[in-house]
Structure 1
């Protein structure tokens, strides 16, 4: 698996507006490509895709994004911009785990955890909150994911203590790597009006049908297949397993309509059928 795992954010006609906003907020962002349906970019080396998917799904705090600021001036500036029109989840303040930390849902609903005192991992990475029926399953999920993806490992597990803020031995914070990329996870037994949804999905880009079959079979085990390469794993987290050749077909005005029609008929991607549909 040579391609980075990408995060897809689902918007209703606001994909470009959200990117333009983040471009004004973050210092280390670079546009890669765009079309009426998607905007692809890199933020501090982390790949993101914004999808104009329509009103069906909403982004929520079940998957947030850590951003490790370089200094106090940077965290103050980014925080001030993100809270404008947004919703403060945890105030920017001093906490036991950081000299300065804050959690905010920005005006597009995307959740950011800003922090100083970064000690390990990527500058930007997604973090999964296991709530409701998934509460207490963060450690299990980490073991599950690291068993599937290459170049993976558990980096850090920090459980709640006895008499702490949540259930003892559930995870208050964890960090792990998939394909050498950083991810976070935590449990929360508090009442939440959200759970994992298609609003935030992880995109696995691969080169061969064998790789598609491998990830599809493992991640749908206990989960459910969707359409157009989408699936939900047994924890309800959404993934897309797509061939790298799709980008080539979608960037060509002649083959893009053919590719779109072909994959709309698919659940799991079949590369041979996609290539046959795009023959000129």
Structure 2
């Protein structure tokens, strides 16, 4: 059976990043830490890669060394759906610590990975057949950094 696993290239922070992400998401665990051997290319004994799970999703992080061609970009982001505003608030605060917040629920964490922290209800509000309502929700979302469920719902309910 096929599986798809996000594979993340870090200069030398793979284990630090994995441990950070595991501290953010409650159902997480380290699966494997691999070290460079004498054949390199990293220093013998240093961490080569880590395999970890966040909420059941497996990730692999590699210490591939600095390479300006291999950087993180918003073109690929981690999309996290949340049920409640408390979940949105908690994940937003934890993931953005040391990073930067962006528009529409996007942020870049301290390692450069882009995340979208999104309330699950947003999808339903944006696809409402009443285009006036869905347009109001889109406009409200475009004005937000961290998404606010009550604010999105108010935009949806406006008369």
Query: Do Structure 1 and Structure 2 share a fold, with TM-score over 0.5?
Result: yes
Whether the 8 Å contact between 1:259 and 1:274 is mirrored in structure 2 is yes
Pick one of 85, 89, 92 that aligns with 1:216.
92
**Which segments of 5 or more consecutive residues in structure 2 lack a partner in the other structure?**
none
Partner of 1:150: 26
How far apart are residue 258 of structure 1 and its match?
1.2
How far apart are residue 190 of structure 1 and its match?
5.3
Partner of 1:124: 4
Match of 1:242, SS state, is strand
What is the alpha-carbon distance in structure 2 between the residues aligned to residue 210 and residue 272 of structure 1?
12
Partner of 2:12: 136
Q: Higher strand fraction: Structure 1 or Structure 2?
A: 1
How far apart are residue 163 of structure 1 and its match?
4.6
How far apart are residue 191 of structure 1 and its match?
3.4
What is the alpha-carbon distance in structure 1 between the residues aligned to residue 58 and residue 73 of structure 2?
21
Partner of 1:202: 78
How far apart are residue 150 of structure 1 and its match?
1.7
Partner of 2:147: 269
What is the alpha-carbon distance in structure 2 between the residues aligned to residue 191 and residue 219 of structure 1?
24
Q: Give the TM-score, by structure 2 length.
A: 0.92
Partner of 2:156: 278
Match of 2:88, SS state, is helix
Partner of 1:250: 126
Match of 2:71, SS state, is coil
Higher relative contact order, chain-length normalized (CA < 8 Å, sep 6+): 2
Pick one of 260, 263, 267 that aligns with 2:138.
260
What is the alpha-carbon distance in structure 1 between the residues aligned to residue 9 and residue 44 of structure 2?
16
Partner of 2:101: 225
Partner of 1:235: 111
What is the alpha-carbon distance in structure 2 between the residues aligned to residue 189 and residue 258 of structure 1?
46
Q: Give the TM-score, by structure 1 length.
A: 0.53
How far apart are residue 198 of structure 1 and its match?
0.4
How far apart are residue 162 of structure 1 and its match?
3.6
Question: CA-to-partner distance for each residue in 1:138-182, whole Å, 9 max, x for gaps?
Answer: 001111111110210000010112451223344333210000111
Match of 2:152, SS state, is helix
Alignment of 1:33-48 (within 5 A): none
**Which segments of 5 or more consecutive residues in structure 1 lack a partner in the other structure?**
1-67, 70-122
